[in-house]
Amino acid sequence: MKIALAQLNYHIGNFDSNTEKIISAIKKAKGEGADLVVFAELCVCGYPARDFLEFREFIGLCEDAAQKIAQECIDIACIIGIPTENNKPEGKDLSNSAYFISEGKIQHRVDKALLPNYDVFDEYRYFEPSTEFNCIDFKGHRIALTICEDLWNTIENPLYITRPMDTLIQQQPTVMINIAASPFAYNHDEERIEILKDNATRYNLPLFYVNQVGAQTELIFDGGSMVFDKGGNLLDELPYFEESITYYTLDADGAVSFDHQSGVKPTRPIDIEQIHQGLLLGIRDYFHKSGFTRATLGLSGGIDSAVVCALAAEALGPENVMAVLLPSKFSTDHSLKDAEDLVRNLGCKSETIAIKDVTDAFETALAPQFKTLPFNIAEENIQSRSRAVLLMAMCNKFGYILLNTSNKSEAAVGYGTLYGDMCGGISVIGDVFKTQVFQLARYLNREREIIPENTIVKPPSAELRPDQKDTDSLPEYDVLDKILQEYVENRCSSSEIIQMGYDEAIVRKVIKLVNTAEHKRYQTPPILRVSPKAFGMGRRMPIVGKYLS
């Protein structure tokens, strides 16, 4: 049996585009002599469709698309992911399903059993878990077909009380096929390989795994579809962050062969390389799938805005990026020069709009209220919010989308101005700690200087008052980021972090800042997710909670 794995980039709710992609891949695979072509989880509608799934018409359009796809499956079979109606009166109205289509008809339906309901996942909100498991016979092989999480219950601390494969293996399958929508995180590829390897070894079966690729707002899917032999050896690995269709022959004895050169990586890409690729894909798909083409951002001369500008120029083309320099009376000459040098290095567009007259006007208007009170955070934030007003005016006038440039460290401790530098359409590096931003800058400069060296080596500063430095308000970033990683990503309490050897006063200050800033994060743009625990849909904290404050 010749099997094609189709790793494609889908668009949520764009049935015409998704169906066209699937049919095109079927025709291509048929031309290559494939017997079966396999697509990703919920490929027909895109993943995650969220509350679109609550619309009856949406489910009907999914079924219409499946019927169109079925018409193309003559002399070839396919597996597609689709939401379906739960035919039983008990339970949720829908199932997360896979259709096995051949001879122009839907021949089999397999429903997902293990529904993730943690971090960014909320499948149990919509779907009823399956309790029935049956293999599919095709071309002399018996296929154990599962959907994503159904293979993820082999870990030491299982999240579920059943393993679908424990039932399916009793039916003596000859191959496992798993269709998935597994989001990217910089440490997730290695975990994914271990889980799949464990399944192939545990059940002594070859395993074909198909993941989707592409970004859906903040969620990035990295692809990396894989094939394992029954000994658990990784035979092939599809490209990460790009579409691909590859072909394999499964022999009667379960041996897998293929003609192309193996894509197995001798060494895994470093975290920063993966983050770089993920952010580029996230930016491209956010703009493309939203129908936008041009971006703008405030370019301060600091490292955060420089990295975002460089990423945007690489993802969208420098001709589609407008960098706006917005100097205040506190902006230093070297910051302006660093920003101008970056613009030259990238070849992007730029404008300079001084904000002194704007902020002076606000301060004059507020003089009767502020009277003789000393300069403080109020005047600092007027500068930041003045910049936001000007940037949004540029967006409205010229059709730009504003890129937010706050990093994860700043977002964590609230070191940013609400409705000021925290505004934007998409947060590009909001899941990248400050120490990682420095690494990302060095990575961007791996072949030539893009980020000016002075931008990288100078002490970070918001430049909202004379001689201001980030360390006036925050611990050094190499200390801050380690504490934040333990608290935010590893979910350790303050007492646990203190026991690790961190200064108690610093730990308690940092965690108080994180919790106090929760109301700010509720009002900020969606953040491109590249870590195992990002702010946004995957981290849900009460604003007025007392615990850990």
* CATH number of domain containing 409: 3.40.50.620
User: In 330-451, at which residue ranges do the beta strands (DSSP E only) sit?
Assistant: 349-352, 401-404, 426-427
The pLDDT, as a whole number, for residue 544 is 87
Stated length of the chain: 549
| Six-digit token string for 82 | 């689709």
* Claim to verify: residue 326 and residue 192 sit in the same structural domain: no
Q: pTM of the full predicted structure?
A: 0.95
* Claim to verify: residue 451 and residue 513 sit in the same structural domain: yes
Inside any domain, residue 526 = no
The pLDDT, as a whole number, for residue 83 is 98
User: Alpha-carbon torsion 74, 78, 81, 87, what sign?
Assistant: positive
Last residue within a domain, chosen from 268, 302, 332: 268
The pLDDT, as a whole number, for residue 218 is 97
Q: What are phi and psi of 510, to 5 degrees?
A: -60, -45
* Claim to verify: residue 289 and residue 264 sit in the same structural domain: no
The pLDDT, as a whole number, for residue 342 is 97
DSSP sequence for 253-302: TS-EE-SSPP---SSPPPHHHHHHHHHHHHHHHHHHHHT---EEEE--SS
Inside any domain, residue 401 = yes
* Claim to verify: residue 217 and residue 290 sit in the same structural domain: no
* Claim to verify: residue 344 and residue 219 sit in the same structural domain: no
The pLDDT, as a whole number, for residue 329 is 81
Residue ranges in the chain modelled with pLDDT below 50: none
* Claim to verify: residue 387 and residue 422 sit in the same structural domain: yes
Inside any domain, residue 410 = yes
* Claim to verify: residue 205 and residue 319 sit in the same structural domain: no
What CATH number corresponds to the domain at position 108? 3.60.110.10
The pLDDT, as a whole number, for residue 157 is 66
Inside any domain, residue 277 = no
Inside any domain, residue 536 = no
Q: How far apart are the first and last CA of the chain?
A: 59
**Which residue range is the domain that position 64 belongs to?**
2-268
The pLDDT, as a whole number, for residue 545 is 82
Inside any domain, residue 539 = no
Inside any domain, residue 528 = no
* Claim to verify: residue 314 and residue 219 sit in the same structural domain: no
DSSP-assigned letter for residue 539: B
* Claim to verify: residue 119 and residue 235 sit in the same structural domain: yes
* Claim to verify: residue 257 and residue 291 sit in the same structural domain: no
* Claim to verify: residue 109 and residue 181 sit in the same structural domain: yes
* Claim to verify: residue 306 and residue 183 sit in the same structural domain: no
Catalytic residues: 41, 112, 148
CA dist 223 and 210 (Å) reads 8
When divided into structural domains, the chain yields a total of: 2
Inside any domain, residue 430 = yes
